[in-house]
Amino acid sequence: MSNILIIKHGSLGDIIQANGAMKDIKQRFPNDKVLLLTTPPYTNFMSSCPYINGVLIDKRLPRWNIFYLFKLKKMLERFNFVKVFDLQNSSRTIFYRKFILKDTAWSSTETSLEPEQKKSDFDQEPVLKRMKIQLQKSGIETKFTENPDLSWASKNIKSLMNQYIDGNYIAIFPFCSSKHKEKVWPYFGDLVKEIKNLYKGKYSVLVAPGPKEISLAKKLDVNIILNKDKSLDLMELVGFIKGSSYVISNDTGPAHITKHLNKKGLVLFGSHTSPKKVSLGGDNFKSIEVKKLKDLSVATVIDKIRADLN
């Protein structure tokens, strides 16, 4: 039995999207130990993933922290990995390839390029297509890479939800990482009022905020879903989305969960990227794309919701 390493640090949306690739890799190496190197926020979540045999933690401390890099190198060397699948494809993991696991066979964007092809051109392809090409170039059959299966990731939270509502609900995700404020549509408060006016109690409007979003959620006229006054963990979040009738989201992690649960909903995009490039949108989970999110009207969003729910 050999050891195989997958690197995927985050974010949440990236971790969700990589699940299909992880499943394909594990099916290619069923008798080997497949380990995931990721960051602390995703350790518990991915420890339950059936496509990997264990999780290793990378705190991603600054690269000038030589002591940390030495410890990381020693930890990884103990496993004698025969193959690394770099699904992060970042400058950091390029550094790892050169200085930490330099004698290990490596699969990455760079090893997948055609002669004369530039990485900048390859990176314009949809993210799931890029993963598929990368794995195929490494001899992996890609049955699941473009269609991640999240059936393992959902926790039944019916008893928790019964504390808040009795009936159907629309989930909204109006927040985003503080690093990506350009992804935030500014009119969710007005949208909530319109939804309540339109559906007259047929749907509750709920939000499940992250730890840093709870205070912001309190400014909205919605039910805030928490577990013992704390944000839902990631498996609870998947369960929350799975139980919804409809989801409206910025381009953020819960949007990727919604897509791969095949739930109805709507994701909102400004010019920061496109639904195609990040592999979002589809028959059930649709997208609206505009140049400036501040110019996207509540009326336009309501029209899309009405068409889907009526």
Q: What DSSP assignment string belongs to 205-230?
A: EEE---TTTHHHHTTSSSEE--BTTB
Domains and CATH numbers, the chain: 3-150 (3.40.50.2000), 154-309 (3.40.50.2000)
Helices (H), strands (E): how many in the chain?
14, 11
* Res 241 pLDDT > 90: yes
Q: How many of the other CB atoms lie within 10 Å of CB of 84?
A: 22
> Which residues have a Cβ under 8 Å from the Cβ of 221 and sit 6 or more positions away?
189, 192, 193, 196, 205
- Mean pLDDT for 219-224 is 94
The pLDDT value recorded for residue 178 is 77
- State pLDDT tens for residues 27-45: 999 999 999 999 999 999 9
Q: Which helix (H) or strand (E) holds 130?
A: helix 127-137
> What confidence tier does 146 reach under pLDDT thresholds 50, 70, 90?
very high
pLDDT surpasses 90 at 225:
yes
Name every residue whose Cβ is closer than 8 Å to that of residue 165 and which is 6 or more positions away in sequence.
Answer: 204, 206, 223
* Region 159-184 average pLDDT: 92
Which pLDDT belongs to residue 295?
96
The whole-number pLDDT of residue 29 equals: 97
Average pLDDT of 131-155? 96
Question: Whose CA is closest to 250, among 139, 167, 305, 172?
Answer: 172
Query: Distance of alpha carbon 175 from its chain centroid, rounded?
Result: 14
Q: Report the pLDDT value the prediction gives residue 110, as an integer from 0 to 100.
A: 92
> Is 0.75 surpassed by the pTM of this model?
yes
- pLDDT at residue 281, rounded to an integer: 84
Quote the percentage of the chain above a pLDDT of 90.
92
